[in-house]
Amino acid sequence: MVTKQHSVPGEPTWLSGQILVAMPTMADPRFSQTVIFMCAHTADGAMGIIVNKPLKKPQFADLLGQLGIEPAPPARDIRVCTGGPVDSNRGFVLHSIDWTTDGSLEVDDSYVLTASLDILRAFAEGGGPKHGFLAMGYAQWGPKQLDEEILQNAWLTVPADSAIVFDADHRSKWTRALAKLRITPGMLSGEAGRA
């Protein structure tokens, strides 16, 4: 059974399934040049996973060992990234929709978030979803907090793109996300427009 992202029938999920792109003037160093996939955005707040900040350590095999999961050939090795500053000891796998388990959160028709050991075991056995990575931690905003940050010109939003979300070219993800809006970093100003 897959848990769908529907809090209240008819309630908007605003930016769920979209990408947030930090403006060049982002003051918070934890979010400088970040690209964040939005897993949930409702009246109660927002939650997302940073997709362009890989971790050098721990490696996926190290984490499997810590969890007592023995890889069995043909084991898969997946990338481990910083998902955000909140609860950085907790892991989440953001992945394609071709694999789910009890407790998986279907963000939309293309992306799923899973936080159970089942998906790690599936990767260790060579299975699991076609695309995915393990994120340690997440980004979180309270009610209307993200909306206010967007109004203050801290973030841009673009439609999600599986190459930006899943590929391993982390250095270019920020500029590629901006390019989806047909802009380059030099075109952006930190000043909010006033009419």
Q: What is the pTM of this model?
A: 0.89
Superfamily holding 11-183: VC0467-like (3.40.1740.10)
List the chain domain ranges. Answer: 11-183
SS3 content of the chain, % helix, strand, coil (to 5): 20, 30, 50
Q: Is-contact 97 112, C-beta < 8 A?
A: yes
What value does the mean pLDDT take over residues 74-78?
Answer: 87
**Is residue 184 over pLDDT 50?**
yes
How many C-alpha atoms does 41 have within 13 Å on its Cβ side? 20
Q: Which residues pair with 172 in a beta bridge?
A: none
pLDDT digit string, tens, across residues 26-68: 989 999 999 999 999 999 999 999 999 999 999 999 999 999 9
Percent of the chain exceeding pLDDT 90 equals: 79
Give how far Cα 56 sits from Cα of 28, 35, 53, Å: 22, 18, 10
Contact 41, 14 (CB under 8 A): yes
